[in-house]
Chains A and B, each alone.
Chain A
């Protein structure tokens, strides 16, 4: 395959086929863990790792996986890598692990990962599958970070809280943005913004 296909696959997940903002997949972690930018990036990296590894393994085995039981096999492969992430995160980043809570094991049922396994890795070679996983994972992380920035900025008045680089922007934040309603409304406005841009272009 030419270099052009590789870069096209890699950048597709960024904006045009962004798993969260364009396809509305993987909504649960997107809305639940984006209370701060740090959590959002942590979740994004964890999901990217699982996505790349599971894409690689599934693409390697794609010719011997029987058609009828492919979904359970995909789920077991994904669950294995999620367990790796879960255990290493609780060992090396216990605070982040506590913050993300139930949503670390729930990466298993993240439809972005299963969706890429089904739609891409089970049909393509290993290198392009890894590139696809990386691109989609970065797109997922970017979307989470965007929502995380907006919610943390308005809801807590800070950026990067939980890390040594914390910046306090203003001191009287709107608490609702940190809670559930803020997540839904932020997501709605971002999607509306994207829809309005698309309308102008085409």
Chain B
């Protein structure tokens, strides 16, 4: 590939790519994101290729493997263009039929269609799926339309035209102004105004500056950054180059978890391709501006997502946070001015340059602009990644897009912002989701995790779970985080085992506030959130554990007991047969009994009983 030297050459290339598209041909796109791959998408792709070869349809049907579409719960996902027919949970057995029927003849295969759980109706087209059509997929939307390993796909959709515009039409300060005006805030969860960060880095003294993309996505259940890097790596690369130009950096780093091999691979390919096309490296687009990007793979410590720990890790030192009175924008990586932003922030940058700051500023709320990608998981029908404008009420996210709670269970809480976020109760379901509202509610935006919990969830147990995570990930350097979280977990454990006293709740709050206020980094600064928010909204549940020695949700093993309702038990003997401890006794056709001394509360009897006779209290 000859390097692109001028804006017109880039435009010419884009036109020739678009001209090469034959919209009359069928194109089968298969999601090869991590979720769909885990559901078998790789073998499905192979099957499609083989089938098309077998039927000698290479000239008639295109195949494109794409990044994550977000609706992982329904994977593997297949969309057939130009119609946009949407098939879900596709397996290799369906392949031949899809090729011959849908791709060649436009016939719909009913069994592969998505059924709207609310209306019960089948949906034919992707755009008709409620999960999608209620979203605003600005930065995530192209994932399903391009092959992430093919720069031409990205350019064909207008990719790198923002870079072009930046380098030829804007001064660095103008880029910063645009970002400021757009109101973009850090998508890593901190929500710091991106433009201001860039500005202080630009103003900082020093010839050498750096930009860093933080792709050390460590929150359990979060995979937005991963999906973006895997599915549309060029958008991040383009954002980084623009950022580098704006702050005056010539080098960028993408710090990505080594647990994301596909993301590492795709970003690597993207960097190489961008270099080949003259969009990255020396003398970009003939402007004299040079910028290079290196990939640093993380070693798996959660705390390395914290910016100072991340920089220490890039420098080859122990990945632990360091307190610095001076901001990284003045003294960051190797003590040089450094701008660090999250993957989603960088991916938003080209969009703002392309469509304008005003356009972007119209989306979202007064203080939180644009869209946010959430990972919707837990007790929810439509598990997956969703991109919505800031300010959308939680209810709309959970019921409108998420399709509500499975099994007719009642919603109890949603935990936002990853392991250090807080739990938001039902009464706040109409809360508009933005940085300020979530913080006010005792939680946070964080990386955009949304874990939905139903009535079977014990909030003490939830708090305990998240604290166990942060304890494992705490580096142990500062006193509050190291000692405080541990002590909080000890108290929670005592509560869940019925060994706590009422005063322990006060201690929990004291400890929580201390850890929050005094920890060295954001890990400790936010770790108590799950405890403090559940204490705030579900204090009665804590009190039930302490006073009544009961777990209302029936989760905490030490506080529950299994028994058999004699009125309901038919004496079928299934539970007795399945009990691994031999704790159940009784004659055939007569009510059975559980020996509480032997019972380990594993719950197998509850699962196997067909007569609802097992009682947990």
The answer to whether A and B assemble together is no
